[in-house]
Amino acid sequence: MFLALRELKFARGRFGLMGAVVSLIAVLMVMLSGLSSGLVNDGVSGLKSLPVTAFAFDEGTKTDNAFSRSVVDSEQVETWQSQVGITHAEPVGAGMTNATTEDGTQIDLSLFGIQPDSFLVPDVSEGETLEGLAGIVVSKTAKNDGLDVGTVITLDRIDTELEVVGFTEGQATFGHVDMAYLHLDTWRLIASGAAQAGIPTQEQVDALDFNVASVIAVQAEDGFDFSTADLAAATETVSLQESFNSSPGYEAETLTLSMIQVFLYAICALVVGAFFTVWTIQRQHELAVLRALGASGRYLLRDSLTQASILLVAFTSIGVGIGIALGTAMPDGMPFALEVTPILTSSILTIALGLVGAAVAILRITRIDPLTALGGQR
């Protein structure tokens, strides 16, 4: 420890330069973590907020954009509801739409049709909960588009009018589009093409023969065998986490960012390892003197790893602080979210992999021969 601190003080320029590189890597890690979390929230925050164990899609549905491809009927829903171990099984209608507000503002909405008395009804932060055929509860982020409680929107092409009655608690988006929860019967009117201009009415619903939905939202007890229910209902079930891949672009975005992070981790290990390789070569004579004076290889290894730890922890902390400061300054339009767990995970990995790179480089200390090294300096 004494030697490590002395060298850090003596060669503060070289260690400062190396630390700056580590800090820059840490800044990039924080920014990528924030961007990754922001894209996930922007893509599937609506699904993440649902108290759902799994979603049951129609058998044979292609996983890409499965929510818009799948079609389930009332018999499949009833089959799921009759299964022992199922707490809730409710039909859900999903789809995208374009709409216009009263002042002519064009907006995009991801419609999720649910029963107003089901376990899927979202908590509201403002306004009232979902009720009535014309009411919709929209994502809190939709306020950025000028929506407010009482705002009437008109769906493009069919001119059906819906009124915002409340906002969700926090962000609720799907496929980077604000979600709008509406009555399942209203969704069926829209999906079937039977919706008419103006406010949807009960007479239109009663005249409709369209008892289908997109998926079945399932809440099951621990240990429930989904394969048996799938066989009985002719469905394919995916967990809530797996259903995120059904959001447009979700898998491609997350895999791309994950790959960039992996390369940054590798770069961190290589850069730190290269630095300590050169540093070890440069002080080979001093290390040989210590070995000749009786210092063990284990002592020198521990001292060098302590040096690397101080460097990595200190400058990673600085980089994380800078990254958080930059993250708070991100514009509202950018899908960016600072979350403790991803930032902490990336910081620990940066330090750990940097130590791995340093350890590999420092191992050459054990091969230093005091007599040969000292003799080479005469």
Per-position DSSP letters for 312-374, written without gaps between them: HHHHHHHHHHHHHHHHHTS-TTS-----HHHHHHHHHHHHHHHHHHHHHHHGGGGG--HHHHH
Among candidate residues 85, 93, 69, 59, the one with its CA nearest the CA of residue 226? 85
Residues in the chain, overall count: 378
The number of angstroms, rounded, from the C-alpha of 203 to the middle of its chain's C-alpha atoms is 43
The number of angstroms, rounded, from the C-alpha of 66 to the middle of its chain's C-alpha atoms is 19
pLDDT attached to residue 366: 67
Give the whole-angstrom CA distance, residue 297 versus residue 143. Answer: 64
pLDDT attached to residue 361: 78
pLDDT attached to residue 82: 93
Question: What predicted TM-score, i.e. pTM, was given to this entire model?
Answer: 0.80
Phi and psi (nearest 5°) for 370? Answer: -55, -45
pLDDT attached to residue 73: 93
**CB of 185 within 8 A of CB of 191?**
no
Give the whole-angstrom CA distance, residue 93 versus residue 116. Answer: 13
Spatial neighbors of 47 by CB under 8 A, at least 6 apart, are 174, 240, 243, 244, 247
pLDDT attached to residue 3: 59
**3-class SS of residue 151:** coil
Residue reference for tokens 């809530």: 240
pLDDT attached to residue 126: 92
pLDDT attached to residue 138: 95
pLDDT along the chain (378 residues), means of 10: 63 80 90 87 87 92 84 94 93 93 90 93 92 92 89 92 93 90 94 90 91 93 90 92 84 85 87 81 72 72 82 91 90 82 90 86 70 56
Give the whole-angstrom CA distance, residue 38 versus residue 117. Answer: 31
The two most distant CA atoms of the chain are separated, in Å, by 103
Buried b or exposed e, range 185-196, using 16+ CB within 10 angstroms: bbbbbbbeebbe
Two tokens, residue 260: 């960039």
pLDDT in tens, 147-159: 999 999 999 989 9
